[in-house]
Amino acid sequence: MKKALIALLSATLILSSLAACSKNNNGAGNSSSTGSSSNAESATNTSVYKDGTYTAEFSDKRAEDEHGWRDRLVIKVTGGVPALEDYDSFNLEDNRRKSTDESYAMTAEANGTEPSIFIPQLIENWNAAGGDPAKIEAVAGATNSSDAIKELTHTALDAAKRGDETVQAID
């Protein structure tokens, strides 16, 4: 009797295990088919962006906090695909670009962080990341600007999802 009971319990456990594995395999099949559609969706995910030109920049207050320089980023979306049109810091007084400002460059060069070098590098990193703020690599010695381009990109892409082409000011 004990042997029959053990055999019955063993068979029940084996059948339960097989049934559970079968369900997991079917679930995996379903998730891989869902994964395929997710991959297809992510391949066309750029279509969530509406065509237009989107600008994000720091507010006057934030620019004052940044020693009189306003970071600004412009993204152009064509066919649902975002492309970086412009990124730089602009002087609040006369709107000159930090990347080409010679007096700023001399000060920055003494500190080892020259905008004429790190801004093009940030733009290159933006393009390499496909504009994904989470994937934009920081530039050594330009931590604030590296953080700024990510924040501005996020804000501009949010505007592109909504189709809001007004300048997005960040406090």
Q: What is the fold of 49-170?
A: Sufe protein. Chain: A (3.90.1010)
Residues 72/57, Cβ–Cβ less than 8 Å: yes
Percent of the chain with pLDDT strictly greater than 70: 69
- Would you tell me the crossing angle of helices 143-162 and 115-128 to the nearest 10 degrees? 40
pLDDT at 116 over 70: yes
Round the average pLDDT of the chain to a whole number and report it: 78
The tens digit of pLDDT for each residue in 39-81 reads: 333 434 547 999 999 999 999 888 887 788 899 999 999 999 9
Give the contacts of 153 (CB within 8 A, at least 6 positions apart): 56, 73, 75, 126, 131, 133, 136
Sequence letter at residue 139: V
pLDDT above 50 (res 34): no
* In the chain, domain spans: 1-43, 49-170
Pick from 98, 94, 104: nearest CA to 86: 98
User: For 140-150, what is each residue's pLDDT tens digit?
Assistant: 888 889 999 99
Query: What's the one-letter identity of residue 163?
Result: G
Q: Is the pLDDT of residue 126 over 90?
A: yes
Q: What's the CA gap between 90 and 57, in Å, rounded?
A: 10
Order of strands, sheet of 168-170, starting from the edge strand that comes earlier in the sequence: 81-91, 69-78, 52-58, 168-170
pLDDT value at residue 45: 53
Question: Ranked by mean pLDDT, which of 4-18, 30-44, 112-126 comes out on top?
Answer: 112-126
